[in-house]
Chains A and B, each alone.
Chain A
Amino acid sequence: MAETVISIQNLDKTYDNGFTALDKVNLEINKGEIFALLGPNGAGKTTLIGSICGIVSPTGGHISVFGHDTIKEYKQTRARIGLVPQELTVDSFETVWNTVTFSRGLFGKKDNPAHIEDVLKRLSLFDKKDTQVRKLSGGMKRRVLIAKALAHEPDILFLDEPTAGVDVELRKSMWAQVRKLQETGVTIILTTHYLEEAEEMADRIGFISKGNLFMTEEKTSLMKKLGKKELVLELYNPLDCTPSSLDGFNLKLANDGYQIIYTYDPAMQDNGVVSLLDQLRGLGIKCKDFNTRQSSLEEIFIELVGQE
C-alpha cells in the first residue's frame, strides 16, 4: 500500500459572495504518483489546490500533508509543497536568477546557487538567468514559475495548467521533466484541459465538476472500465437506414450510409460483435473492410461531465 502524502476530508469552500466552489471533497494522494485533476472551467480545481497550499482558506473539512494539518501546522506542510499557479504571475522587473533565489529564501532554505543553476538548466532557462522576467516569452515565464516552485526542493509539486499556452514541443519536454521529477520521488498533482496530457502523464485521475470530486480512478482501470470501443464496418453498398431487426445494437450510419458504427463495451463477456456480423451476413449486407478503435479519455471525460 502506497504511503499517503495528502489526505483531504470533507473539504468545503464557500467564497465570501456565497458561492460554493468545493463541496465535501475527499481525496488521498499517494507518495510518488502523478495525479491529474480534470474538470471544466470553474469546476473548483484551482480552489482545491489553493486550499492545500494556503492561498484559500477552506470553510470546512480537514487537509493534512505528510500527517500535518495545513492550518495548525502550516509551516511544516507549506515548506514541502511547491506551487505553479495557473496565472502567469511573475515579478516582471526582477531577473530570472533573483526571482528564483528569492523563492528559495522565502521557503526558509539556505542559499544554494548550485541547485538554482541545476533547476534553471533543466528548464532551459540558464542562459536567460540575468534577463528581466518581463522580457521573456510566455512559455519562458511559465518555466520561470516552475523553477520558482522547484527552488526549495519540494516533495509535492502542484502544477495548475502547466502547459497552457506552451507549444507542442515544449509541452513534450515539460512532460519529460515532470517524469524525471517523479523518478526522484516528488509527488505531482496537475490540472489540465488537455486530456491527452492526463492520459499520457497521470497514474490516477480525479474528475471534478461544480465543486464535486465525483470520481477518482487509476488511469488504466478507468480506460478499461469506461473506454468504449467502436467497430466501424465499411460497406459495399450504402444503406438508407439501419435494418429494424438490428435496432438492439444501436447502430449509427456514417459516410453517406457506407459505414456502420457499432459502439460496445470491450469489458463485457458478450460484446455482440460476432452476433452482429452473423446477422449482417444473414441480411445480405456485405462488408469490404472493418476497424475498431478505443475511445480516448477525452470522450470519457465529455461523457462524464455530460452526466453530471
Chain B
Amino acid sequence: MNIRGIAAIYKYEMHRAFRTIGQTIASPVLSTMLYFIVFGSAIGSRITDIDGVSYGAFIVPGLIMLTVLSQSVSNASFGIYFPRYSGTIYEILSAPLSFIEVIIGYVGGAASKSLIVATIVLITSSFFIDLNIAHPFWMLFFLIMTSVTFSMFGFIIGIIADGFEKLQIIPLLVITPLTFLGGSFYSINMLPEFWQKVSLLNPVVYLISGFRWSFYESADVAIHTSIIMILVFLSACIGIVAWIFKTGYRLRD
C-alpha cells in the first residue's frame, strides 16, 4: 500500500480546500444560514411542531444532509475532473498508485471536507436553536457514510464527465431535486399517500430520515431500513468504481 502516495493526494485536496476557503467552507455555511433564517425562523415560526420537534430544529438534520450531499458530490467530482482537464493527471497515472489508492486519496479528501462543513453548519445552527442529539454515534455514522458514499458518487461523475457542463449538471439535475424532495423541509408523512410511496423511491429520504432519527428519535422510515439503504448505496458506488477500475474507463487511453 502506497500510504505516502495516498497522503499526498489527501493533503493536496485538503490544501486546495483551504486555498479556496471561500468556495469550500464559507459559501455552504452562508447558504445554510440563509435557508435557516428563511425556512427556520421566518416561515417556521408559523408552522406547528412536527412530531414534537419545533420546525426550526426539525430542518437542521435535513439542512446538514443537503450540504453534505452537494458538497461531497461537487468536491469529489471537481477534485478528479480538474486534473483530467488540465492534464496533470499524467502524474497520478505514472505514479506507483493503484486505482483504489487514488480513490482513497480523493474520496477521503472530499469526504473530510464535507464533514468539516457539516460540523460548521451544526455549530452555526446551534446559535439559532437548542440542539440535542439523541444518538451521537448514529449521527456520526450517517454523516460519515453519506459523505463517503456521495464523495464516491462525485468521483464517478468526475471520471465519466467529458466537460464542465456535465460536471455541474448532474448535481443540479439529480442531487438538488432529490434532496429537496427528500424531506429536508417536511416530513414525508405530510404528503398524500401516493406521493409518500413515490418518495420511497428517493434514496435521499432514507438518509435524511435516519439522520433526523439520530437527533430526535423520530423518523419517516424505520431506522433499520435507513441503515440498510445507506449500505446499499455505498456498495453500489463501490461496485461502479470497481467496474471503472476493471475497464480503466476514461483514465488511460
Residues in chain A within 8 A of chain B (CB atoms): 15-16, 50, 53-57, 74-76, 78-79, 81, 83, 85, 87, 89-94, 98, 102-110, 148
Contact = CB atoms under 8 A, between A and B. Distances in A.
Nearest to A107: B95
A16 B253 contact: yes
Interface of B: 2-5, 7-9, 11-12, 15-16, 19, 86-88, 90-98, 248, 252-253
A148 B90 CA distance: 12
A233 to B, nearest CB: 54
A106 B253 contact: no
Given A55-B253, A91-B88, A106-B92, 14 more contacts: A53-B93, A54-B93, A54-B94, A57-B252, A76-B96, A79-B96, A83-B91, A85-B90, A91-B86, A106-B8, A106-B9, A108-B3, A108-B5, A110-B4
A88 B253 CA distance: 19
A109 B87 contact: no
Contacts of B88: 89-91
A187 to B, nearest CB: 16
B5 A57 contact: no
A159 to B, nearest CB: 13
Contact of B252 (A55, A81, A90, A109): A55
A69 to B, nearest CB: 14
A105 B4 contact: yes
Contacts of A87: 87
A108 B93 contact: no
Contact of B91 (A74, A103, A108): A103
Q: SS class of chain B's interface: helix, strand, loop or mixed? A: helix
Given A78-B94, A103-B91, A106-B8, A98 B253 contact: no
B97 to A, nearest CB: 7
Given A57-B248, A83-B90, A89-B87, A78 B253 contact: no
A103 B12 CA distance: 11
Given A54-B94, A78-B95, A108 B2 contact: yes
A107 B2 CA distance: 8
Nearest to B102: A106
A50 B96 contact: no
Nearest to A92: B86
- Closest 6 A-B residue pairs measured CB to CB? A105-B8, A89-B87, A75-B96, A78-B96, A106-B95, A53-B94
Given A74-B96, A79-B96, A98-B15, A109 B253 contact: no
B90 A75 contact: no
B251 to A, nearest CB: 9
B200 to A, nearest CB: 41
A15 B91 contact: no
B19 A105 contact: no
Given A87-B87, A89-B88, A102-B8, A56 B253 contact: yes
Contacts of A91: 86, 88
Contacts of A85: 87, 90
Given A75-B2, A107-B5, A89 B86 contact: yes
A89 B15 contact: no
A289 B19 CA distance: 71
A56 B252 contact: yes
A240 B160 CA distance: 69
Contacts of A56: 252-253
Nearest to A87: B87
A81 B253 contact: no
Contacts of A109: 4
A110 B4 CA distance: 7
B86 A102 contact: no
Contacts of A55: 90, 93-94, 252-253
30 contacts: A50-B253, A54-B252, A55-B252, A55-B253, A56-B253, A57-B248, A76-B96, A78-B96, A79-B96, A83-B94, A85-B90, A87-B87, A89-B87, A89-B90, A90-B88, A91-B86, A92-B86, A102-B8, A102-B12, A103-B91, A105-B4, A105-B5, A105-B7, A105-B11, A106-B5, A106-B9, A106-B92, A107-B96, A108-B4, A148-B91
B79 to A, nearest CB: 13
A178 to B, nearest CB: 19
A242 to B, nearest CB: 54
Residue among B4, B90, B96 with the highest chain A CB neighbour number at 10 A: B96
A90 B88 CA distance: 6
A108 B96 contact: yes
Nearest to A152: B95
